[in-house]
Amino acid sequence: MTQTVFAPWDDPNQKPLIRFQNVTKRFGEFVAIDNLTLDIFEKEFFALLGPSGCGKTTMMRMLAGFETVSDGRIELSGKDIGHVPPNKRAVNMMFQSYALFPHLSVWDNIAFGLRRDRKSKSEIDARVDEMLKLTRLEKFGRRKPHQISGGQRQRVALARSLAKAPKLLLLDEPLGALDKKLRQDTQFELMDIQESTGTTFVIVTHDQEEAMTVASRVAVMDEGRIIQVATPANIYEYPNSVYVADFIGDVNIIDATATPTGENTYALNWIDGQPPITAETKTTFSAGQQAHLAIRPEKIRISTERPDEAANALQGKVLDIAYLGNLSTYHVQLPGGQVIKAQTANTRRIARRDITWEDPVWISWSATAGVLLEH
Amino acid sequence: MKRMSWFNVTSLTLGFAFLYLPMIILVIYSFNASKLVTVWAGFSTRWYGELVQNDAFLDAAWVTIKVAVMSSTLATVLGTMAAYVLVRGGRFLGRTLFSGMIYAPLVMPEVITGLSLLLLFIGIGLDRGVLTIVLAHTTFSMCYVSVVVSSRLVTFDRSLEEAALDLGCSGWDAFRLVTLPIIAPAVISGWLLAFTLSLDDLVIASFTSGPSATTLPIKIFSAVRLGVSPEINALSTIMIAIVTVGVITASLVTKRNAVRAEADTRAAERAQA
């Protein structure tokens, strides 16, 4: 059985749909986007992720045409769109506030963009009905935006921005206004719609869980720069910096000095009076170089007895337990005062009752469990 | 129903008496049969009859309405444009100066506005008549319109316009199809305000009117100087009636819309739950 993996970014023959080339955007003295280069491919569901003020919204507004580029160029299907006004771009946007026209019905909201293209009436009717069906809003066509619920409004906004069949759809925090349960359902709905229409989606979000769920690739941004672009799994398992490791999910960071002990293996001296930690990595570190070991809590085992075969095992005592229902996170304090988080799945109903506050425990992990980072 | 305290009752009575006693007296005396304004001689509608035959008053009323409609329409267009630029134009050279100056007529004594307009019209050789009154009224009422409209525009969600542009509108189409329908209530109130201001302006109109055109306030004012005639009481009563009907209609419409909107919102919430 051959299954083709969707990964156009690994194929050198693929032409990107969007290409940022050394793009810089300044607002007066403030540099919002700093010499940024990025390719986004057709049919991708691309997420821009970062804290507020990192420049992700500016990037989206430059794609939509609401901001001009200070330096560099943005290409859409090989053409420079830096100075094309928003109404002349094959790009549509779904706004964070939805920006539904309050004086028009749901039907007229969706038809708005089609009417601007001077399409025939039958064409508009057919397309609007198709969009209403896609977003399961058939019954609400005649309602005004204030007569429907928040989730329905979100779907109207989506239908309106998809109606013109854009090459690229921009979504600015599309699920930000929905409550958690509805947000999760809508994430899958978005993915289905993206797949069935084959449109390229670029989503801006500050919610890392949302980005991981929906996106084919995630770009983590900070202060106008892209720190890492990778698939959700690679971003999580192989972060390229402490910043990314810390931003996505929960992580323990151990600062240490590296000493090579063999091919790809290093001994990490991290604190006086503790044995060095063993770690494997493909990155080369020189003897005595500063390194940061990032380990996810779920990759650390916790036990009452010293495990027999573990590359790294440390003793400590339980400081805190966070019970999340499906998971429990243990905060284990080491003799030196550092706190390491270890996570276990509560697979049994009375799981881990044997470990409680103040208990002496062993935490252990393998040589490959963590990622050794330079910065 | 809770009984009101004597203090509240007194305040309310005093307040309403101050506001409405003069008008009530005026309305009562408009139905006076006597020619003497201050002596009651029985009920009659005689003065209303005479008013209808008074061509000078009717001409003046017609001029007033023409002037009010034209000047408030012109003021609404100009005032809305000015408000739009001030709120949306971003920073441009002279923005602070412009925004300060647009509100200057609000505090300028009417006599000064009237006099300077008079000098301008004489200077450019414009004959005084309906046109000059319209221009003068537009000048002083457009700043009221721009105050009303800009206070609405400040709270207007900018992304609505961006959405219109994004869906293929030109700047003008976005304004015409999205912004204007949404801010329409503010534009209409601006128009009504300008209309009212023009209707009862005396000072500026008396500077800028000519022999060919006289507005009703000027006519009434000059007639009163020769002694108050019961006809004027009748005329004033009609004006009060028109204004009252207008205000009540406007507030009923507003209230009905508010009630309907609230019902819609509740229905939506129920549908969601």
Domains of chain A, by residue range, sit at 8-246, 250-373
Q: Which of B157, B166, B271 sits opposite A97 (nearest CB)?
A: B157
CB B47, CB B231: distance < 8 Å: yes
Q: How many Cα atoms within 13 Å fall on the side-chain side of residue A50?
A: 22
Would the CB atoms of B181 and A149 count as touching at under 8 Å? no
Is the predicted pLDDT of residue A327 greater than 60, yes or no?
yes
Please report the residues numbered 101 through 120 in chain A whose beta carbons come closer than 8 angstroms to any beta carbon of chain B.
101-103, 112-113, 116-117
Q: Within an 8 Å CB–CB cutoff, is residue B9 touching chain A?
A: no
* Integer Cα distance of A89 and A85 in angstroms: 7
Q: Within an 8 Å CB–CB cutoff, is residue B155 touching chain A?
A: no
* Integer Cα distance of A307 and A366 in angstroms: 11
Average of per-residue pLDDT across A25-39: 92
Per-residue model confidence (pLDDT) at position B73: 96
Tell me: domain A250-373, CATH 3.40.1390.30, correct? no
Per-residue model confidence (pLDDT) at position A1: 45
* Integer Cα distance of B103 and B141 in angstroms: 10
Would the CB atoms of A146 and B261 count as touching at under 8 Å? yes
Would the CB atoms of B162 and A66 count as touching at under 8 Å? yes
CB B57, CB B230: distance < 8 Å: no
Would the CB atoms of A85 and B163 count as touching at under 8 Å? no
| B167: chain A residues, CB-CB within 8 Å | 87, 92, 112-113, 116, 160-161, 164
SS3 label, residue A14: coil
Q: Is residue B59 part of a domain?
A: yes
Q: Within an 8 Å CB–CB cutoff, is residue B192 touching chain A?
A: no
- Best mutation target, B159, B161, B167, to test chain A (most A CBs within 10 A): B167
Q: Percent of chain A having pLDDT more than 90?
A: 58
Q: What is the domain extent for residue B183?
A: 55-243
* Integer Cα distance of B142 and B126 in angstroms: 21
| A113: chain B residues, CB-CB within 8 Å | 167-168
Q: Which residues fall within 8 angstroms of residue A106, CB to CB, at 6 or more apart?
A: A132, A137, A140, A141, A142, A143, A144, A145, A148, A156
Pairing of strands A289-295, A371-373: antiparallel
- Best mutation target, B88, B165, B166, B178, to test chain A (most A CBs within 10 A): B166
ipTM of the complex: 0.84
State how far the alpha carbon of A204 is from the alpha carbons of A47, A63, A74, A180, A284, in Å. Answer: 6, 12, 18, 17, 34
Would the CB atoms of B165 and A86 count as touching at under 8 Å? yes
Q: Within an 8 Å CB–CB cutoff, is residue A360 touching chain B?
A: no
| A149: chain B residues, CB-CB within 8 Å | 268-269, 271-272
* Integer Cα distance of B178 and B163 in angstroms: 9
Chain B residue nearest residue A146, CA to CA = B265
Would the CB atoms of B167 and A95 count as touching at under 8 Å? no
Chain A residue nearest residue B181, CA to CA = A103
Average of per-residue pLDDT across A126-149: 92
Which one-letter DSSP state was computed for residue A298?
G
Would the CB atoms of B271 and A85 count as touching at under 8 Å? no
CB B117, CB B131: distance < 8 Å: no
Chain B residue nearest residue A96, CA to CA = B159
Q: Within an 8 Å CB–CB cutoff, is residue A58 touching chain B?
A: no
One-letter identity of residue A32: A
For the segment A166-222, what is each residue's pLDDT rounded down to a tens digit?
999 999 999 887 888 888 888 998 999 999 999 999 999 988 889 999 999 999 999
* Integer Cα distance of A335 and A314 in angstroms: 10
Q: Is residue B171 part of a domain?
A: yes
Lowest mean pLDDT among A118-122, A288-292, A354-358, B147-151: A354-358
- Best mutation target, A27, A96, A100, A112, to test chain B (most B CBs within 10 A): A112
Per-residue pLDDT of chain B (273 residues; tens, 9 = 90+): 567 789 999 999 999 999 999 889 888 888 888 887 778 888 888 888 888 888 888 888 889 999 999 999 999 999 999 999 888 877 777 788 888 888 888 888 989 999 999 999 999 988 888 999 999 999 989 999 999 899 889 888 889 999 999 999 999 999 999 999 999 988 988 898 899 889 888 999 999 988 878 898 898 888 888 877 788 888 888 888 887 887 888 788 778 877 877 777 777 666 655
| B272: chain A residues, CB-CB within 8 Å | 149-152
Would the CB atoms of B272 and A92 count as touching at under 8 Å? no
Q: Is residue B190 part of a domain?
A: yes
Would the CB atoms of B271 and A149 count as touching at under 8 Å? yes
Q: Which of A66, A146, A161 sits opposite B265 (nearest CB)?
A: A146
Q: Percent of chain A having pLDDT more than 70?
A: 98
Q: Within an 8 Å CB–CB cutoff, is residue B262 touching chain A?
A: no
Per-residue model confidence (pLDDT) at position A335: 83
Is the predicted pLDDT of residue A4 greater than 80, yes or no?
no
Say how many domains are in chain B: 1
* Total Cβ atoms within 10 A of residue A208: 19
For the segment A145-167, what is each residue's pLDDT rounded down to a tens digit?
988 988 899 999 999 999 999 99
Chain B residue nearest residue A91, CA to CA = B166
Please report the residues numbered 125 through 164 in chain A whose beta carbons come closer than 8 angstroms to any beta carbon of chain B.
144, 146-152, 160-161, 164
CB B188, CB B249: distance < 8 Å: no
| A101: chain B residues, CB-CB within 8 Å | 160, 163-164, 178, 182
Chain A residue nearest residue B182, CA to CA = A103
Segments of chain A assigned E as strands: 18-27, 30-40, 45-49, 71-76, 79-80, 91-94, 168-172, 200-205, 217-222, 225-230, 252-262, 265-269, 277-280, 289-295, 301-303, 312-323, 327-333, 339-345, 360-365, 371-373
CB A99, CB A156: distance < 8 Å: no
Q: From A34, A23, A77, select the one nearest A227 (Cα to Cα).
A: A34
* Integer Cα distance of A144 and B181 in angstroms: 14
Q: From B206, B207, B237, select the one nearest B219 (Cα to Cα).
A: B206
Pairing of strands A225-230, A217-222: antiparallel
Site of tokens 């005689």: B46
Lowest mean pLDDT among A106-115, A120-129, A223-232, A345-354: A345-354
The span from the first CA to the last CA of chain B, in angstroms, equals 35
CATH number, domain A8-246, options 3.30.420.10, 2.60.40.1730, 3.40.50.300, 3.40.190.10: 3.40.50.300
Is the predicted pLDDT of residue A350 greater than 80, yes or no?
no
Q: From A181, A178, A153, A32, select the one nearest A94 (Cα to Cα).
A: A153
- Give A42's pLDDT tier (boundaries 50, 70, 90): very high
Chain A residue nearest residue B273, CA to CA = A149
CB A242, CB A258: distance < 8 Å: no
Q: Is residue B167 part of a domain?
A: yes
Retrieve residue B229's tokens.
Answer: 């005639």
**pTM for the whole thing?**
0.82
Lowest mean pLDDT among A139-143, A197-201, A288-292, B240-244: B240-244
| B264: chain A residues, CB-CB within 8 Å | 144, 146-147
Q: Is residue B31 part of a domain?
A: no
| A87: chain B residues, CB-CB within 8 Å | 165-170
CB A87, CB B170: distance < 8 Å: yes
Would the CB atoms of A99 and B163 count as touching at under 8 Å? yes
The per-residue DSSP string of chain B comes to -PPPPHHHHHHHHHHHHHHHHHHHHHHHHHTBSSSSTTS---B--HHHHHHHH-HHHHHHHHHHHHHHHHHHHHHHHHHHHHHHHHHHS-S-TTHHHHHHHHTHHHHS-HHHHHHHHHHHHHHTTPPPSHHHHHHHHHHHHHHHHHHHHHHHHHTS-HHHHHHHHHTT--HHHHIIIIIHHHHHHHHHHHHHHHHHHHHT--HHHHHH-BTTB--HHHHHHHHHHT---HHHHHHHHHHHHHHHHHHHHHHHHHHHHHHHHHHHHHHHHHHH-
Strand partners, A230: A218
Q: Count Cβ atoms within 10 A of the Cβ of residue A215 and give its class: 0-12 exposed, 13-18 middle, 19 or more buried.
A: buried
Per-residue model confidence (pLDDT) at position A3: 62
The span from the first CA to the last CA of chain A, in angstroms, equals 41
* Integer Cα distance of A265 and A128 in angstroms: 60
